[in-house]
Each structure stands twice: as C-alpha cells, then as structure tokens.
Amino acid sequence: MSGTICIVDDEPSILNTLSSILEDEGYEVLLAKNGAEALQVIRADPPDLVLLDIWMPEMDGLETLQHVRQEFPRIMVIMMSGHGSVETAVKATKLGAFDYLEKPLDMEKVIILVRNALHQQKLEEENLNLRTQVERHWELVGSSPPMQKLRQQIAAIAPTHSRVLISGENGTGKELVARAIHWQSPRRHRPFVEVNCAAIPETLIEVELFGHERGAFTGAVSQKKGKFDLADGGTLFLDEIGDMSLPTQAKILRVLQEQQFTRVGGVKLVKVNVRIIAASNKNLPQEIEKGAFREDLFYRLNVLPIEVPPLRDRREDIPALTRYFLRVHAEEQGIRQKTISDEALKVLQCHDWPGNVRELKNFVERLVIMVPKPCIDTADVVSLLPGSATPFFNRVTPTEAFESLREARNAFEREYITHRLRENNWNVSKTADDLKIERSHLHRKIKLLNVELRPEP
Ligand SMILES: Nc1ncnc2c1ncn2[C@@H]1O[C@H](COP(=O)(O)OP(=O)(O)OP(=O)(O)O)[C@@H](O)[C@H]1O
Ligand SMILES: [Mg+2]
C-alpha cells in the first residue's frame, strides 16, 4: 500500500512515533502541529489521508475536519481522541471522518485502520471511474445550433433541484438528456432511477413506485423498496408519462404535492429527497384537452420544459452521429471501424428519419452488418435505406447537402432511377420504357451514377 498521510497533533512525541511507523510501512508522511498549520500543509500538497487529533489549542480537530471535508472531499480523515472524548469522536464520524482511534494509540490498530481507509478510498475512486466510463455511452453528439441550445439548457437546469419535463418525438434522445442533467447535477453520485410508465401494468405501478411493507399481501415476505425509495438523494426519471393511467397520475400527483408517501400495506410516511425528470413523446396539452392527462399534474411537472428537436431539424448532426455510431458499434463488437463516403453521408442527410436518432443508429448498425466492404458508399446506403420508396422530390432536402447543381442532380437521378428500378423488380428494359429513355442510355446512367443493381435484401 502506498499513499501520503498527514499527521496532525500538538504532541511532538506522537508526531515522532506515528511518522516513523508509517514511513516504515511505506507511506509518505507530512506533519502539522495544529489545525491551521494542517490546512496549510494540506492545501500545498493534498495527501490521501489525514490522522487528526481532536483536542488541539485554537482550531480544534472538529473544525479542521470540516474544512478538510469541504475543500478536499476525497481525503480520508481518521480522528485521534484522547482525554476520554469518545463522544466527540462519534460526532466526528457523523461529520465525515472515516473512523477514530483512541489514545493511547495501539500502533497495530493504526496501521490496519489506515490501510482500510486507503483501500476504501481506492474502491470508491475505481467505482467512480467505472461510472464515468459507463456514462460515456450516454454522450450527446452533435453541434448544430439546436443541439448547442439544448446543451445550454441542460447546463442551466442541471445544478437546480427543479422538476424538468422533456418532450420530443420518438428516438430524439430524451432519455439521454435526462441522464445528462443528472450527470451534470450535484446528485451525480447518487442513483439515477428510471421508471417506464408505459411498460408497467396498472395493478403493479403502486408497488413499483412506492414499494411495499412486509406482509402487505400474500407473498410479500419482506419489505420491498419502490423506485422513489431507490432514487433517494438522486434523480427519478419518469419516462413516457403520457401513457400513465389517470389513477396512477393521481397517485404521482399526491406524492409531488406532499413530498412523502406510504409503502403499500404500510402506515408510516416515508420522506425522500428525489428530483423528478419526466419525459413524454405525446403532446401533453393535447392529452389534457382530450381528458387523458391531468392538467394539475402537468403544471407540477412542467417547471422547466425542454424540447428535444427531431433529427430532420438538425440534419447537420447526421454525419457526426453516423461516424459516432460506426465507432461505437466497432468498439462494442471488437471489429475494425468502417468508413463512409461523404456522398453517402449526404444521402443520409436527405432522409427524414421519422424514428430520429434511434432509427439512424439502427440503420448504421444494419449498414455495418450488411455491407462487407470497409468503406460504405452511396449505393450501399440507397439500397438499404428504409422508406426510400417515397419519392425523392417530396422530401425536405437541405440545400447545403450538395455543393453544386451537378452533385444535386446526380443524387436525385441516382435515387430516382433506383426507385424506378426497384418498382420494376430491377428490370432495366422495362424501367427504360417507364423513364422514356433508350435502354443503352439507362445503362450508361446506371454505370455513371454507380447505381447498384440488386434485389432487395
Ligand atoms: N445526440 C445523440 N448523440 C448520441 N446518441 C444519441 C443522441 N440522441 C439519441 N441517441 C441515441 O439514440 C437512441 C435513442 O435515444 P433515447 O432513448 O434517449 O430517445 P428517446 O427520446 O427517449 O426515445 P423514445 O421516445 O422512443 O423513448 C439511444 O440509443 C441514444 O443513445
Ligand atoms: Mg425514451
């Protein structure tokens, strides 16, 4: 075990003994005679652990402890109490000290406790690292103006404790936004708990949300915590709230109003500190009009509204998203990352993506699996793109997608010819007839434009 330990005590003999023993164990040691000096030493070169005497003149151990915890939350603190001040030592652990040692010091105990504290610190840090890695999968990709605006909103909303209502079409990234808010909030070290309101049957929702007491019903052999309990100190993400039944809405409303609830079969009121983020792909004001959603609940939830824009309103993000999904897919599968041609990206940009980012993500996965070559090109995209049976000219195509008239015309012709060929089951002569051109002319076009002649996969 290695690490740096700061020993704080006004008795020189203690400083001497402890430092020689801990140095023998392989630790680096810093010394301070009182609280003020300790803070100086710690600020200059933050150690991993502090051994802190409780009773010192001027700034005592408890006060020093509070400063250390506040400024350096990762530093482990072990208190040393003499003079029968065990009560104070207990108070210290409540203030965040790892543990305490009683004087006269038992050196064996000192070494074991120091080792345990540093071990615990290491575990906590590993845990945080792992969580950071996991969170990286929740990266929000895209730098279009709508995404920049979204990021600004997230940054402004995250530090608060207010409720958030996220709306947006299917697959736009609502869950990702909810996670980003949690991750950027002071609650990030506490749980993010998700409830899919659409997926839980009406009869189970109460137990799911509030848990039950032991013996609440046949089979309830022990107490079960509900999602509200599990999210204590963290964030509760109520997904698809537009699909909640009216009775469930009433139950949620009551918790939001009273900030407390009872478990099923219980009488005790449970109080939790939970931040609520809700999401819906339904137009809630419309649902209210239809009588399917409670207006009072809507206003309770809709404190900070966030609208996640559909992908067709931020087509600039499609190339970055596509490359990101190519990379993630390759990493997950442990395979070499495929590339995609600029022209193929432009075809993707022209598509409307009714299923938004999720649809694009699934399509990229399909491309990677279906295209055997290392580089995906236009023909691959055109032949696999879902919904490409809709006429090209009915689509909203951003003018920036093409650099010249020629490029735009080629893209149009390629796709138009592909559609007509597909309609004619890839029969070139018949398609040429339809298009009212010579068969040889169509063949030239097919070659020139790289139209791939192949039946549907
Ligand atoms: N900006 C983005 N960057 C990277 N990945 C994204 C982005 N937006 C969405 N995704 C990915 O697309 C998929 C769908 O996102 P998410 O589940 O957050 O959408 P949603 O709005 O909650 O959809 P639904 O309404 O269907 O529940 C997820 O795999 C998510 O990781
Ligand atoms: Mg979702």
Which ligand ends up closest to the CA of 314? 1
Index of the ligand 1 atom closest to the CA of residue 142? 1
Cα 179 to middle of ligand 1, angstroms? 11
pLDDT at 7 over 50: yes
Index of the ligand 1 atom closest to the CA of residue 177? 18
pLDDT band at 390 (very low <50, low <70, confident <90, very high): very low
Give the lowest-confidence range in 22-36, 118-132, 385-399: 385-399
Q: Is residue 36 part of a domain?
A: yes
Among 279, 309, 339, the domain boundary falls at: 309
61 lines ligand 1 (CB under 6 A): no
* Nearest-10 crossing angle of helices 246-258, 202-210: 20
Same domain? For 304 and 321 the reply is no
CA angle 48, 132, 241 (to 5 degrees): 135
Report which of residues 200 and 165 the model is more confident about: 165
Same domain? For 246 and 383 the reply is no
The arithmetic mean of pLDDT across residues 306-329, rounded, is 94
45: left (phi over 0), alpha (psi -120 to 50) or beta: beta
**Atom 9, ligand 1: residue with shortest CA distance:** 173
Same domain? For 38 and 150 the reply is no
Same domain? For 205 and 112 the reply is no
CA 427 – CA 446 distance, rounded (Å): 12
Q: What is the CATH number of the domain that holds 14?
A: 3.40.50.2300
Domain enclosing residue 282, as ranges: 145-309
Q: Is residue 140 part of a domain?
A: no
173 lines ligand 1 (CB under 6 A): yes
47 lines ligand 1 (CB under 6 A): no
What average pLDDT does the structure give for the chain?
89
pLDDT at 43 over 50: yes
Q: Is residue 456 part of a domain?
A: no
Q: What is the pLDDT of residue 437?
A: 94
**Atom 15, ligand 1: residue with shortest CA distance:** 173
Index of the ligand 1 atom closest to the CA of residue 168? 21
Amino acid at 86: V
Cα 289 to middle of ligand 2, angstroms? 24
Same domain? For 201 and 335 the reply is no
The arithmetic mean of pLDDT across residues 344-364, rounded, is 92
pLDDT band at 299 (very low <50, low <70, confident <90, very high): very high
Same domain? For 227 and 180 the reply is yes
Same domain? For 255 and 347 the reply is no
**Atom 29, ligand 1: residue with shortest CA distance:** 358
CA 242 – CA 279 distance, rounded (Å): 8
Q: How many domains does the chain have?
A: 3
Which ligand ends up closest to the CA of 175? 1
Q: Is residue 134 part of a domain?
A: no
CA 285 – CA 294 distance, rounded (Å): 9
175 lines ligand 1 (CB under 6 A): yes
Same domain? For 284 and 161 the reply is yes
pLDDT band at 110 (very low <50, low <70, confident <90, very high): very high
CB atoms within 5 A of ion ligand 2 belong to: 175
Report which of residues 393 and 383 the model is more confident about: 383
Residues 6+ apart with CB under 8 A from 237: 175, 178, 179, 182, 192, 193, 194, 195, 277, 278, 279
Percent of the chain predicted with pLDDT > 70? 94
Q: What is the CATH number of the domain that holds 239?
A: 3.40.50.300
Among 309, 344, 364, the domain boundary falls at: 309
Q: Is residue 457 part of a domain?
A: no
Q: What is the CATH number of the domain that holds 394?
A: 1.10.8.60
406-412 own/partner pairs: CB under 8 Å, 24+ apart: 410/449, 411/343, 411/346, 411/347, 411/350, 411/378
Index of the ligand 1 atom closest to the CA of residue 166? 21
Which ligand ends up closest to the CA of 151? 1
**Atom 25, ligand 1: residue with shortest CA distance:** 170
Q: Is residue 46 part of a domain?
A: yes
Q: Is residue 21 part of a domain?
A: yes
Cα 392 to middle of ligand 2, angstroms? 30
Q: Is residue 133 part of a domain?
A: no
pLDDT band at 457 (very low <50, low <70, confident <90, very high): very low
pLDDT band at 259 (very low <50, low <70, confident <90, very high): confident
Among 254, 289, 309, the domain boundary falls at: 309
Same domain? For 208 and 275 the reply is yes
Index of the ligand 1 atom closest to the CA of residue 279? 22
Report which of residues 205 and 314 the model is more confident about: 314
CA distances from 224 to 53, 153, 274, 353 (A): 42, 36, 18, 42
Cα 168 to middle of ligand 1, angstroms? 11
234 lines ligand 1 (CB under 6 A): no
Same domain? For 188 and 287 the reply is yes
Same domain? For 42 and 156 the reply is no
Same domain? For 109 and 213 the reply is no
235 lines ligand 1 (CB under 6 A): no
Beta strands in 113-233 (DSSP E): 164-167, 192-196, 211-212, 224-225
